[in-house]
Amino acid sequence: MRIQTAAILIAATAFAMPASAVAADFPDIPEPMVFDMIRPLSAKRGELEVNALATTPLSGQPRVVEWAPEIEYAVADGFALEFELPFENARLTELKLGVQKTFGTMDNGRIAHGVQYLGIYDRHDDSASHAVLYMLGRRHSEKLSTMSMVGVGDVRVGQPESTAGLLVNHSTFYHLADDRIAGLELNYKSGRDGGVLAMPQYHGALARKVAFQAGAGLDKQRGARARPVAGLRVIREF
């Protein structure tokens, strides 16, 4: 129970901390495509976003399309909520609720950090799990920025600690222009159903307040062969 208890205490303590004002010079750091954030860490009260991510393997069987529409809303500066509906083809597999809080900035406004909590209900086995991640982003220069997230996932109250696993996401972004970004996202999950994903990606604009993220990379799940995978996320801000 040590991992479960620690994760719950960290989340409760982090979200109970007094909110800090979002700095005017908050660093501009993109959001990863696959392991999505709940609005940027610089989110302002009243910001609303809807988006949907779809991913599918490009080889092997079965070629399932995993897709998930979601809505994100900043209820206060640096504090945002998310509700997501993950699907496999036409089957609704999970219900997901996310909460994200910004702690503030460091290094003269070049670093932003915060915490994210995810609560997931699996409809297949009628079970709930939790994840807590610490997030740290840095704008290294005009062109280069990174976002890192580290935490624990698959935390299940009353279940053995072996069900929980380490979650790591690190993304590096190169800013080609104001609305064009190239990036490389790396995801790692430990445990029996863990694996590694490397996803090169491109972020661009489709219209005013409408953007997309597209990528193709390699997914290696535990006990399975590495498979090429492609993904697309479409984003609408209000």
- Residue 197: name the closest of 189, 206, 187 by CA: 187
This prediction has a pTM of: 0.88
Q: What is the pLDDT of residues 122-179, one digit of tens each?
A: 999 999 999 999 999 999 999 999 999 999 988 877 665 556 789 999 999 999 998 8
**What span, in angstroms and rounded, lies between the C-alpha atoms of 186 and 173?**
12
Q: Where do we find the tokens 């698959």? A: 154
3-state secondary structure of 3: helix
Q: What is the predicted pLDDT for the residue at 26?
A: 86
Residue 178 or residue 209, greater confidence:
209
Let me know: does 195 contact 186? Beta carbons within 8 Å.
Answer: no
Asked if pLDDT for residue 24 goes beyond 60, the answer is no
Contact partners, residue 16, CB within 8 Å, separation at least 6:
none
Contact 44, 77 (CB under 8 A): yes
Cβ neighbors of 45 (< 8 A, separation 6 or more) are 74, 75, 76, 77
Cα–Cα distance for residue pair 52/21, rounded to 1 Å: 29
pLDDT digit string, tens, across residues 38-83: 999 999 999 999 999 999 999 887 789 999 999 999 999 999 999 9
Residue 8 has pLDDT above 70, yes or no: no
Q: Residue 38: CB partners within 8 Å, gap ≥ 6? A: 72, 80, 81, 82, 98, 99, 100, 116
- Characterize 28-51 residue by residue with b for buried, 16 or more Cβ atoms within 10 angstroms of its Cβ, and e for exposed: ebbbbbbbbbbbbbbbeeebebeb
Q: How far is CA 201 from the centre of its chain?
A: 15
Q: Kindly provide the b/e burial profile for residues 117-153, where b requires at least 16 CB atoms within 10 angstroms of the residue's own CB.
A: bbebeeeeeeeebbbbbebbbbbeeeeebbbbbebbb
Do 31 and 198 form a contact (C-beta atoms < 8 A)? Answer: no
Read off the pLDDT of residues 79-117 as tens digits, 9 standing for 90 and up: 999 999 999 999 999 999 999 999 999 999 999 999 999
